[in-house]
Chains A and B, each alone.
Chain A
Amino acid sequence: MSTLHFVALAPFIMAIIIPFCYFKFRNIHTGWFVLPLPLILFIYLLTFIPFDGQLFQPVEHAVPWVPSLDIYFTVYLDGLSLLFALLITGIGALVVLYSIYYIANKNNEPLHNFYVYLLMFMGAMLGVVLSDNLIVLYVFWELTSLASSLLIAYWFHKEKSRYGAQKSMLITVSGGFAMLAGFSLLYVLAGSFSIREIVSAADSIAGEPLFLAAMILILLGAFTKSAQFPFHIWLPDAMEAPTPVSAYLHSATMVKAGIYLVARMTPVFGTSAEWFWILIIFGLTTLTWGSISAIRQTDLKGILAFSTVSQLGLIMSLLGMSSAALHYDIVNTETLYTTAAMAAVLHLINHATFKGSLFMAVGIIDHETGTRDIRKLGGLMAIMPVTFTISLIGLASMAGLPPFNGFLSKELFFTASLNVASLDIFNLETLGFFIPVVAWIASVFTFVYSMLIFTKTFTGEFKPDNYSKHVHEAPAGLLISPIILGVLVIVFGFFPNMLAYTIIEPTMQSILPGLTSGDDQFYINIYHWHGLNAEIMMTIAVIFIGAAIALNLKKWQTSFFFARERDPLNYVYDGALDQLVIRSQQITRAQMTGRLSDYMLYMVIFISSLGLWTFFRYDALAIDLSGDQSIPAYMMVLTFVLLAATLALPFITHRVTNIALLGVVGFLIAALFVVFRAPDLALTQLLVETVMVVLFLLAYKHLPEIKKESKNKGSHLIKGVVAASVGVFVIITSLSVHALRNDSDITPISDFFIENSKSLAGGYNMVNVILVDFRGLDTLLEVLVLAIAALGVVTLIKHKMHGGEDV
């Protein structure tokens, strides 16, 4: 374990402590106990930044977890993970500080829940960006989904919160499952779960047939997490979360996990045309759709949510464009083609700063006025001057106006889209023209909704009647975090090159390794004034046309398009969810008939078909009766009695006889075990049989009479056939096992235990050594199952349901 491991694990440890702090110190806001952690982590992570102009050296530490499955808890800190870790801890600290004042109602709020979820989320996010092993990454990835839906449902008494939480969970987790499948395919291709090893094997796996499938599955994970079209519908509903959560999860961290994954996987998949086109098409669609949808929202947070969707699409499409750089290894051109990667990284940072500050500002407005509805708000400019200034900076940056940082990344975005359109790969000659056009249209709408927030909230007339509260400026504590972020927006806007060598260049080394690894080949220069070129013309046009649309928006507000505030894709989701419930109820009703014999039927049919399939799949059907031996007489007798007892069972209608006969069968099987020299099994069987008989007798008076079931000849026939075929199947299996063992050179697994049980585990009884040592985990889980079953029995008996009661 290294210090970096603790960076990822510290939030979890803290999450265990927090509830104690909450209950012990009720009069201190729990947030104050949480605040130091992200701060310390942030400062610690800052020490990795190469301030002296040196090249960034990645750090790596590995701890074995399940080495036999190639699962190691490896932390790997390179530029990309450092950037994300800094965002997570830095914005995390600000959000915690903000939340202390936002959720100030100390006595009624379950604050310990809130901070435990938040810390869990922070740790999971750090785990995602720091782990080099795909399986570990996946575990943390799903943990972020879980923690975020807990956070969204923090006010769980509101139905909309629960709905939003369920939606985000369903969409992101199912994407995660697809991603896990993609990871498994990658393992098949590259033979390793380590991302760096996969990257180094990237050339050899590029042409494989499974390559495209792995790519699409992994992209599904990334797209659902990063709210790409058409999976974006969960993000607006996630806005039911408390605003600090929205600021944290939905602007700075969780939704960017998909971006992180795509950036991380660019060296693996980036050389293929599919990667390029999928990212660009989905990215640009998301960008445009998000920005257009934002305009018809009436909730401030709703506008910001769609704005986040749209900006994520922008970054995604930039990452797609940057993969074109992998096709050019000529020295002079790469500054051109890496522009996209640079723009993506820069916009990632910028988006975290301006969107974070905007979310916090909206939270303040909500907190101080009691509403977020833009139809009610207005004229807050004079009443809340500080919030107004913060929002103005954030909105200007979002709209891409100079001199703020959003302007820089938007100009780079235009540059990148123009560059890509002029490339001569991947059929860009015919379709490339659309890329800058779509980018430009989306930017117009971005400008429109930024302006919309500004005019509707801050300008116009102030009407005190619209508010349930007395409206005033927020307290200083609430303002600190957004002010810091707002200052960063300005500072990064004026001095963008202070980010260039410290963080952007190391990050680009991770995204496009090889291209940027040389010493002097690669320059980042970001300028406000970059000449009177096409980009600046596009920006000017955006401002004029955007302003024109924004001013005339009223005319269109009655149109069909604006009447539908909710995204139409939601109908697909809701319908699918309803259908899911209906269909699964149908299946359950067919399956859970309430009769044990039916359950038994399903199970044995399934198991035998699986076994039979395996037989044919691996050609394992081998019956060899040549080496058989004569059967001694007592065995004959034993077998005969056993058969007779078993066959008699179905014909007996008396309970007691039934139970006794079952006991006989059990004891005879135990006798067979003795004959075949398996004393442990025999003992267990005897004891279990004894206990079972006692149980049966105890439960005797509760058992219903054996009813003559509706005499359906067909169902009896089916049951008989199934029972017979199961018997035949078992016999075939055992005979085949026997034959294969004698024929081939398959070494039975028992040889290993015979050889090693003394030397490795110090015991002569192989069965027991297997139970407690070689397969100790199985035993542990088995007794766990037993314990759960016992609790189930107790619940059933002691807490009986009465007619109509539900669990």
Chain B
Amino acid sequence: MKTNFLMLHTITRIVSFIVLSFSVYLFFAGHNAPGGGFIGGLMLATALILLYVSFDLDSIKKVLPFDYTVIIGIGLLLAILTGLNSLLFGDAFLTQYFDYFQWPFFGEVELTTALPFDLGILMVVVGVALLIILSIAEDVS
């Protein structure tokens, strides 16, 4: 008998998108409210894990053709490069800069170099969580 996951699939479709968008919110809110790269990354990972758990691995792999090892690498590079950036201005490694800008539609927006650094952290966290879970899940033996 084939098991029918109709309810799980339907709910996952909706919930995972809510979790995804919440994780994006958390990531951007991080500098001034609870959130940030670590939490955002974990939240993103849980959303993806939910997808992987409810659907089968192969179909998700078609939709999200990422190699998570590469994502970890890119994340680390991004974080290191943001840190190196400050050396160009003669400051110590990992000095972060920030400033406020007037934007036409958004009003006053704060831009900081901590954001790409945090993005790097997020990518590493997502990559690590999924890499570990998927390699255990894929393991057949």
Q: Which residues of B contact A (CB under 8 A)?
A: 26, 30-39, 42-43, 45-46, 49, 53, 69, 72, 75-76, 79-80, 83, 92-94, 96, 98-99, 110, 112, 114, 117-118, 120-121, 124-125, 127-129, 131-133, 135-137, 139, 141
Which A residues are in CB contact (< 8 Å) with B53?
A: 694
**Are B94's CB and A698's CB within 8 A?**
no
Q: Nearest Cβ distance between residue A76 and chain B, in whole angstroms?
A: 21
Could you say which residues of chain A place their CB within 8 Å of the CB of B75? 783
Q: Which residues of chain B are within 8 angstroms of A765 by Cβ–Cβ distance?
A: 30-36
- Residue in A687, A762, A764, A783 whose beta carbon sits within 8 Å of that of B112 in the complex: A762
Contact of B118 among A64, A761, A772, A791 (CB under 8 A): A772
Contacting pair A779 B110 (CB below 8 A): no
18 contacts across the A-B interface (CB closer than 8 A): A684-B42, A687-B39, A687-B43, A688-B42, A695-B133, A698-B136, A765-B31, A768-B31, A771-B118, A772-B36, A773-B114, A777-B93, A780-B83, A783-B120, A784-B76, A790-B127, A798-B135, A800-B141
**A691, B31: Cβ atoms closer than 8 Å:** no
Query: How far is it, in angstroms, between the C-alpha of A687 and the C-alpha of B40 when the chains are bound?
Result: 10
- Contact status B30-A695, CB under 8 Å: no
Contact B121 A783 (CB under 8 A): yes
Query: Is the pair A787, B128 in contact by a Cβ cutoff of 8 Å?
Result: yes
Q: How far is the CB of B50 from chain A (nearest CB, A)?
A: 9
Q: Residues of A contacting B93 with CB < 8 Å? A: 777
Report the bound CA distance from A574 to B141 in whole Å: 45
| Chain B residues near A793 (CB-CB < 8 A) | 131-132, 135-136
Query: Do residues B39 and A772 form an inter-chain contact, with CB atoms below 8 A?
Result: no
Beta-carbon nearest neighbor of B31 in chain A: A763
A466 to B35, CA, bound (A): 79
- The answer to whether B131 and A691 have CB atoms under 8 Å apart is no
A776→B94 contact, CB < 8 A: yes
Partner of B128, one of A690, A698, A762, A789: A789
- With contacts A773-B96, A790-B128 taken as known, whether A698 is within 8 angstroms of B32 at the C-beta atoms is no
Q: Which residues of A from 685 to 706 have beta carbons under 8 Å from B? A: 687-688, 690-691, 694-695, 698-699, 702
Distance, CA A769 to CA B83, complexed state (A): 15
Which residues of chain A have C-beta atoms less than 8 A from B37's C-beta? 771-772
Give the residues from 606 to 620 in chain A that come closer than 8 angstroms, CB to CB, to chain B: none
Residue in chain B with minimal CB distance to A775: B94
Task: Say what secondary structure dominates the interface of chain A.
Answer: helix
> In the complex, which range does the number of interface residues on chain A fall in?
35 or more
Closest Cβ–Cβ distance, residue B11 to chain A (whole Å):
16
Q: Which of B83, B125, B128 is within 8 Å of A776, CB to CB? A: B83
Q: CA–CA, A773 to B38, complex, Å?
A: 14
Q: How far is the CA of A258 from the CA of B129 in the complex (A)?
A: 49
CB A318 to nearest CB in B, in angstroms, measures 43
In this assembly, does A381 line the interface, its C-beta being within 8 Å of a C-beta of chain B? no
Judge whether A794 and B131 touch: CB under 8 Å: yes
Q: Determine whether the beta carbon of B39 is less than 8 Å from that of A763.
A: no
Bound-state CA distance A764–B29 (Å) is 10
| Chain B residue at smallest Cβ distance from A694 | B49
Q: Is A680 an interface residue (CB 8 A)?
A: yes
Smallest CB-CB separation from B26: which chain A residue?
A: A683
A688 to B133, CA, bound (A): 13
Tell me if A767 counts as interface (CB < 8 A to partner B): yes
B139 and A684 contact, CB distance less than 8 A: no
A691 and B46 form a contact (CB under 8 A): yes
Report the Cα distance A33→B88, complex, angstroms: 29
Q: Is the CB of B114 within 8 A of A683?
A: no
Whether A718 sits at the interface, judged by CB under 8 Å, is no
The answer to whether A679 has its CB under 8 Å from any CB of chain B is yes
Task: Tell me the bound Cα distance from A794 to B132 in angstroms.
Answer: 7
- For B117, give the chain A residue with the smallest CB separation: A772
Known A763-B32, A773-B114, A794-B135; contact A691-B49, beta-carbon cutoff 8 A: yes
Q: How far does the alpha carbon of A530 sit from the alpha carbon of B93 in the complex, in Å?
A: 60
Known A-B contacts: A695-B136, A780-B80. Give 10 more (CB < 8 A). A694-B53, A702-B136, A765-B31, A768-B118, A772-B31, A777-B83, A777-B94, A780-B94, A794-B69, A797-B136
